[in-house]
């Protein structure tokens, strides 16, 4: 196992280092303000009960949907207004994706963590703009990128003087319409020195597997999450929904809210047993 990763700041939260496991969770996309707020409030309550550091995640725009007819979200302005109210009123840290440099300044005015989507992890201008924003940056490892290549993405952000960086594993392409998680990735990514997150639910996608949308294998979420925690990840990323089958994005992989607390209890016990 690689040495303990550095501690980074995301808003008022300290993540990585010896701070313990943390959770990034929320619905894939903003479906409505009421739904996003309800999810943030209910997940935050679970994490407060478990004394688990929590960052609410959701997207104002899903720019990489399989079909052009798929729901993308409310857009930048409306979406960030929702995130601002959730952040201010519920006192939770928030994370959202940015897809192009022009979105970074506006999103950084609200989000505590800017997330670089996996497909964009080599986009230099986007990484540099996110780094210059001063916000923490979560870089998702592309499905087409080896873990050791992520040092280049990290260096692009760190070169701006911003060392508040997270790196997220979300599976690697395996033939067509399939992803696999190589557990060797975790110690390799930890060796780069920054906190490592495992995106459980996106790793279970079957990209484009249902023709006009992605499929998924939610039933494998717990064993993969347990394996990642045992391998020493700093944080867990999960898309969580109160009614996954009715979700407007990624219905096959979002984790049911009703099953979140038991899963987190299992992961926390495992995390404590290996420390």
Per-residue pLDDT of the chain (275 residues; tens, 9 = 90+): 456 899 999 999 999 999 999 999 999 999 999 999 999 999 999 999 999 999 999 999 988 766 777 889 999 999 999 999 999 999 999 999 999 999 999 999 999 999 999 999 999 999 999 999 999 999 999 999 999 999 999 999 999 999 999 999 999 999 999 999 999 999 999 999 999 999 999 999 998 766 666 778 999 999 999 999 999 999 999 999 999 999 999 999 999 999 999 999 999 999 988 76
Residue corresponding to tokens 């959770």: 23
Residues 6 or more apart in contact with residue 102 via CB below 8 angstroms: none
Residue range 15-274, CATH number: 3.20.20.70
CA 210, 202, 118, 59 dihedral sign is: positive
Q: Do residues 229 and 217 touch, judged by C-beta distance below 8 A?
A: no
Determine the Cα–Cα distance for residues 50 and 43; give it in Å rounded to an integer: 11
CA distances for 268 relative to 65, 148, 235, 271, angstroms: 33, 28, 11, 5
Query: Angle, nearest 10°, between helix axes 33-50 and 76-90?
Result: 40
pTM over 0.85: yes
Residue 93 CB neighbours (<10 A): 22
- Among 212, 220, 149, 211, which residue's Cα sits nearest to residue 179? 220
């Amino acid at each position: 196992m690689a040495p303990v990763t550095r501690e980074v700041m995301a808003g008022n939260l300290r993540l990585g280092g010896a701070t313990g496991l943390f959770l990034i969770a929320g619905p894939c996309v903003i479906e409505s303000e009421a739904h996003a707020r309800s999810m943030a409030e209910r997940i935050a309550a679970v994490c407060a009960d478990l004394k688990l550091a929590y960052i609410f995640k959701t997207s104002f725009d899903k720019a990489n949907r399989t079909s052009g007819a798929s729901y993308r979200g409310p857009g930048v302005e409306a979406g960030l207004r929702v995130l601002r109210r959730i952040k201010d009123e519920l006192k939770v840290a928030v994370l959202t994706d940015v897809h192009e440099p022009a979105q970074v300044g506006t999103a950084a005015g609200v989000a505590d963590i800017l997330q670089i989507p996996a497909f964009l992890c080599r986009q230099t201008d986007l990484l540099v703009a996110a780094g210059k924003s001063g916000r923490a940056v979560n870089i998702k490892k592309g499905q087409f990128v080896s873990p050791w290549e992520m040092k280049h993405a990290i260096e692009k952000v760190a070169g701006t003087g911003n060392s508040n960086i997270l790196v997220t594993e979300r599976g690697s392409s395996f033939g067509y319409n399939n992803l696999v998680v190589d557990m060797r990735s975790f110690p390799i990514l930890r060796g780069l020195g920054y906190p490592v997150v495992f995106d459980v639910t996106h790793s279970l996608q079957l990209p484009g597997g249902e023709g006009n949308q992605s499929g998924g294998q939610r039933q494998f979420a717990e064993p993969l999450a347990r394996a990642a925690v045992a391998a020493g990840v700093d944080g867990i990323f999960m898309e969580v929904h109160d009614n996954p089958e009715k979700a407007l994005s990624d219905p096959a992989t979002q984790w049911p809210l009703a099953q979140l607390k038991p899963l987190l209890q299992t992961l926390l016990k495992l995390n404590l047993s290996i420390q």
